[in-house]
Amino acid sequence: MSAHFTHLAGPTIVTADPTNTVYENGDLWIADGRIAYAGIEGEFSPPDDATVTTIDATGRVAMPGLANCHTHSYAALLKGTVDTDPLDVFMVQAILAAGARSARDVYVSAQIAALEMLKTGTTACLDHYSHRPRHTPEALDAVCQAYADAGVRAAVAPMFSDRPFLETVPLEGELDEDLRAQLPATPQDPDPFFEMMAGALPRWNAHDRVSLMLGIDSPQRCSESLLRRAGAFCAEWDIGNHTHLLEAKTQYAMSADRPEGFVAYLADCGLAGPKSSFAHFIWFTDKDLEATAEAGVNVVHNPASNLILGSGLQPLLKLIDAGVPVAFGSDGLNAGHMSMFEKVRLAALLPRISEADPDRWLKAPAALRMASVNGARVLGRAGEVGELVAGQLADITLLDGRSLALSPRGHIAPQIVFYETGAGVTDVFIAGEQVLKDGKATRFDGDAILGEAHETAARLARDNAAALERAENFRPGLTKMVKRIMTDGCGPCRIATLS
């Protein structure tokens, strides 16, 4: 049987390779889901007996699909629900107002996330998946199936903890006992969680685009026995793990119980290595940084979410200087939109308000590689995807090169990083399959899923209105706690001060 090739003819090719090669009016050839050739026009010919589908990409810009390495699919039905909510207030809202979601609700929410990612040029994600009040096999299958049906490359990391939330924040009398009693405090039994994972792993990790890894909520929210069991489980199944870590200063305050630091603690539990990733990682100490670099852990920077929740400024350049691989994430859709172009731009710009030496600023080509190559590493696909070079998986985003953002043309990498919003995405290919064509998803009906999502979100808002009102009772006390911790002079500084 003759081979089939897809030929993208004429685009500007941003390879994101180590030398940041760009080909003007290039050629991209795809076969068997991988890039057969990316380079100068007319330098490649398929076998004589091959069949060829040619797509005219003249005037387009081809770049690697972006990776969103920290998101929460449940939040796609909660857009516009967060304003001036610091993380700990946000967490109580999530606990009290999660609502009972059916497997179909879970599926719809994940497909909304997939749709937004595809339409803004993201081809892969790590979903730090949450389902309250407890995980179920049916809901886990629903979120995985939603990504599989959309054609998105996804690593799903079900999030778990076993300590009551109010025991994991540094309260000093800010909440009275009557109020504390209103927040569910019964720890979950870990046995059903690990049984669910063991049942799902053989099925989903055999899938070509969807896989599972272990998700821990955050170490301060887990007992030591749970963390050690999680580390042993990852080793047994040879899978990665993902956790929030030191996202807010209130979490740093809880690390006092671990003088060796949370990173060393996680390493001792078997949860810090090249297959591990820490989301946010803002309030780390030099000791934490050294342990992270030594263990080869990946960090996922979420600049937009950190700003929305007021969590602080991640010292990105310190991580890069230490040799820590950093990728980017959006967080959930209740903490801003999912266009990774914005996250790349913020990641490149934010260090410029704290670093006076412009020679140290993050350059645009390096930021793009972090969003693609480093993202592939977080997802367990290092060396397989992230660059437009022969042999890699054909995960490709096409931009309208004649859009206002990219016209008139200057240097292409800075123009993408500092001008593109995601609105210029026209087509997306994953494993060589065109999953977005002329702005429309090809595998599912985006308009229909949006319509269903409107109805689902409205129903959940009605059902959870009373719980959200109860959650507001916690705001004054938790806000007081946050203010106390943030004005405490101990520990690293991750907020900007102006004089």
Backbone angles phi, psi at 26, to 5 degrees: -90, -170
Evaluate whether 210 touches 156 at the Cβ level (below 8 Å).
yes
DSSP 71-101: E-GGGGG-TT--SS--HHHHHHHHHHS----
Q: How confident is the model at residue 497 (pLDDT cuts 50, 70, 90)?
A: confident
| Whole-Å CA distances, 160 to 221, 241, 309 | 9, 11, 22
- Supply φ then ψ for residue 155, to 5 degrees: -110, 120
- Of 149, 153, 208, nearest to 446 by C-alpha is 149
**Does residue 187 have a pLDDT over 90?**
no
Question: Residues in the chain, how many?
Answer: 499
| pLDDT tens figures, 58-105 | 999 999 999 999 999 999 999 998 899 999 999 998 887 667 899 999
Looking at the chain, the whole-number percentage of residues with pLDDT higher than 90 is: 90
> So what's the pLDDT on residue 99?
74
Specify the pLDDT at position 185: 66
Assess contact for 55 and 9: CB atoms under 8 A. Answer: yes
Residue 491 in this model has a pLDDT that exceeds 80: yes
CA distance 397 to 375: 15
Lowest mean pLDDT among 123-127, 180-184, 378-382, 468-472: 180-184
Distances in Å between the alpha carbon of 362 and those of 96, 320, 415?
Answer: 40, 10, 14
Per-residue pLDDT, 489:
84
Instruction: Report the C-alpha gap between 87 and 158 in whole angstroms.
Output: 20
DSSP 258-298: -TT-HHHHHHHTT--STTEEEEE--S--HHHHHHHHHHT-E
Kindly tell me if the per-residue pLDDT of 3 is higher than 70.
yes
Which band of pLDDT confidence, cut at 50, 70 and 90, is reported for residue 188? confident
pLDDT digits (tens, 9 = 90+) for 321-376: 999 999 999 999 999 999 999 999 999 999 999 999 999 999 999 999 999 999 99
**Cα(237)–Cα(47) distance, rounded to whole angstroms?**
41
Q: Is residue 167 pLDDT above 70, yes or no?
A: yes
Question: How far apart are the C-alpha atoms of 331 and 309, rounded to whole Å?
Answer: 11
Q: Which residues lie across from 440 on neighbouring strands? A: 437
pLDDT digits (tens, 9 = 90+) for 191-239: 999 999 999 999 999 999 999 999 999 999 999 999 999 999 999 999 9
pLDDT value, residue 186: 62
- What is the value of pTM for the model shown? 0.97
Closest CA to 112 of 490, 461, 474, 454: 454
Residue type, 4: H
Residues ≥6 apart with Cβ < 8 Å to 114: 146, 147, 150, 152, 154
Question: Pairing relation of β-strands 159-160 and 26-31?
Answer: unpaired
Question: Mean pLDDT throughout 436-454?
Answer: 98
Cα-atom radius of gyration of the chain, to the nearest Å? 22
CB-based contacts of 48: which residues, under 8 Å, 6+ apart? none
| Per-residue pLDDT tens over the stretch 272-329 | 999 999 999 999 999 999 999 999 999 999 999 999 999 999 999 999 999 999 999 9
Q: How many CB atoms lie within 10 A of CB 54?
A: 11
CA torsion sign for 298, 302, 307, 311 is negative
Alpha-carbon distance of 230 to 240, in angstroms, equals 11
Task: Tell me the pLDDT band of 1, cut-offs 50, 70 and 90.
Answer: low
CA distance linking residue 227 with residue 216, whole number of Å: 8
Tell me what the pLDDT averaged over the chain comes to.
Answer: 95
> pLDDT at position 301, please?
98
